[in-house]
Chain A
Amino acid sequence: SQTIHQWPATLVQPVGSPLSLECTVEGTSNPNLYWYRQAAGRGLQLLFYSVGIGQISSEVPQNLSASRPQDRQFILSSKKLLLSDSGFYLCAWSVQQGRHEQYFGPGTRLTVT
């Protein structure tokens, strides 16, 4: 069966510090991968998605970047965090064909102080 991992689970970082959040998927090959941000426990904002290694699509101009160095690894980064980067970050995967339903990781709660 497939599983998706995110770490860390929680993170408190000062303004201006760098960020690296990691997401890995097991039990599937060549998945689509997604990063979302959820502010204040409400709606999802799609940040990035990837259909393959090194292929990243950015949905929203922002202070963040994403990379996919391996097939089942997706990394969200920032060089300098802003207060507005605080939120709940969710990684998800889907198969590339068929229904495209997405399966979500447990999330990372980021607080920028």
Chain B
Amino acid sequence: GEDVEQSLFLSVREGDSSVINCTYTDSSSTYLYWYKQEPGAGLQLLTYIFSNMDMKQDQRLTVLLNKKDKHLSLRIADTQTGDSAIYFCAERKTGANNLFFGTGTRLTVIP
């Protein structure tokens, strides 16, 4: 497809792991990103992964990249109520000056 796709909603219980999935469009995209948006705020860059990597871990965050399937995921371990937000994946397509964002996944953490 032409759009970066994400599920719209995800609910998890506090302390569980969250997995947010994304399907991107360009198999030659060099970098892929995860952003977090809290209510009424701008987007905050959480992490990124270079296309020659399969996995990247940063504290509670783990990014997995499957280039063959053009699938990106973000795992949040020990999810906390402060993790409730909208999460966007984005790709940098070859030759583009801008990023292409997914529709965002609203994560709700249930206490």
Query: Are the C-beta atoms of A34 and B86 separated by less than 8 Å?
Result: no
Please tell me if A44 contacts chain B, counting CB pairs below 8 Å.
Answer: yes
Check: B44 CB closer than 8 A to any chain A CB: yes
Residues of B within 8 A of A (CB): 31, 33, 35, 39-45, 48, 86, 88, 90, 92, 97-99, 101-104
B103 touches A43 (CB 8 A): yes
Chain B residue numbers with a CB within 8 Å of A43 are: 88, 101-104
- A sample of 25 cross-chain residue pairs with beta-carbon separation below 8 angstroms, ordered by A number, consists of A32-B98, A34-B98, A41-B86, A43-B103, A44-B101, A44-B104, A49-B97, A51-B97, A57-B97, A90-B43, A92-B43, A94-B99, A99-B31, A99-B48, A100-B97, A101-B31, A101-B33, A101-B48, A102-B43, A102-B98, A102-B99, A104-B43, A104-B44, A105-B42, A107-B41
Interface of A is mostly: strand
Say which size band chain A's interface belongs to: 20 to 34
Known: A90-B43, A107-B41, A109-B40. A49 touches B104 (CB 8 A): no
Q: Is A14 interfacial (CB 8 A cutoff)?
A: no
- Given A43-B102, A92-B43, output 15 extra A-B contacts at Cβ < 8 Å: A32-B97, A41-B39, A42-B104, A43-B101, A44-B88, A44-B104, A46-B98, A57-B97, A90-B42, A90-B43, A100-B97, A101-B33, A101-B45, A104-B43, A107-B40
Contacts of A103 in B (CB 8 A): 45
Query: In the complex the two chains form, what is the Cα distance from A51 to B96 in whole Å?
Result: 12
Q: How far is the CA of A90 from the CA of B44 in the complex (A)?
A: 12
